[in-house]
Structure 1
């Protein structure tokens, strides 16, 4: 594929058909270690996933009882003491 002066490329028909890319579809180029990946963006699914996560977060907000522990105390209880800090 050749990139035009405007930075455009033509996605081969076989790839468009395989990914269900039609006029008006949104795609993204995602950088990878070996180059870039072409990804079809399904906004409806993405928006549904975000909405579902926000609904879940709202439902569980305030349900964790830390027994009066601070965030730092809870993290140390959960992970154990940090050995990368100077113990002074």
Structure 2
């Protein structure tokens, strides 16, 4: 697989590689160069037995079914002061 680097030095990691390394947005990634001069990409959470702490908001993200109006929400948060 190949990809193109942007002028800022950014590349997109192809989906099959992201899936194989269990990479999600916000994942730590470690790059190394091996003895053959090849760049090796590691999911940093998989290195040395590290495990990522699950985001406590992931389970509820996108679940709200009430469409709040800003004024109503602010009144609720501020109280009757």
Question: Of Structure 1 and Structure 2, which has the larger fraction of its residues in helix?
Answer: 1
TM-score by length of 1: 0.46
Which structure is higher in RCO with an 8 Å CA cutoff and minimum separation 6? 2
